[in-house]
Amino acid sequence: MVIYGIALLGVCTLLGLFAGELLGSLFGIDANVGGIGIAMFLLMCATSFFKGRFEIGNVSEKGITFWSMIYIPIVVAMAAKQNVVGAIDGGFMALMAGLLVVTVSFIFVPIISNFKRK
């Protein structure tokens, strides 16, 4: 069932957010430090673990795979939105640093692709 994928996603998200809050308090920061990244990592590990250990059925496996694949793009979009808002609030220098990083990334994509072909 697809519900197993949602349950696994929920458990990993809660554990990741808890770990991020714990890391934040450990570093003396009043914020979540990497909780969503930890949740993504836990989701990937749990998916690999369950595929190798348990026979959960084709439909359940498809549900877990679906939510594992949909989770990462959603989190990346949320983080990108926060980064853009933070850059605009941060002023001109933060905006220029972001534009520079994106420009350099676009320049290196074809270079890296050519290395892979050779």
Residue-wise pLDDT tens digits, 42-89: 887 887 777 766 666 676 667 667 776 777 777 677 666 666 666 666
Cβ burial, residue 64 (10 Å; 0-12/13-18/19+):
buried
Determine how many CB atoms are found less than 10 A away from the CB of residue 63.
21
pTM over 0.85: no
Give the number of C-alpha atoms closer than 13 A to the C-alpha of residue 3, restricted to the C-beta side. 1
Higher per-residue confidence, 88 vs 107: 107
- Three-class DSSP category at 29: coil
Residue 83: what pLDDT? 62
Residues 110, 50: Cα–Cα separation, whole Å: 37
Lowest mean pLDDT among 1-5, 25-29, 55-59, 96-100: 1-5
Average pLDDT over residues 96-107: 86
Do the beta carbons of residue 32 and residue 24 sit within 8 Å? yes
- 38 pLDDT higher than 80: yes
Say how many CA atoms lie within 13 Å of 37 toward its Cβ.
Answer: 7
Q: Where are the alpha helices (DSSP H) in 54-91?
A: 58-90
Give tens-digit pLDDT for 17-31: 899 889 888 988 777
Domain tally, the chain: 1
Q: Which domain holds residue 9?
A: 2-117
| pLDDT recorded at residue 41 | 84
Mean pLDDT, to the nearest integer, of 1-13? 74
* CA pair distance 18, 116, nearest whole angstrom: 39
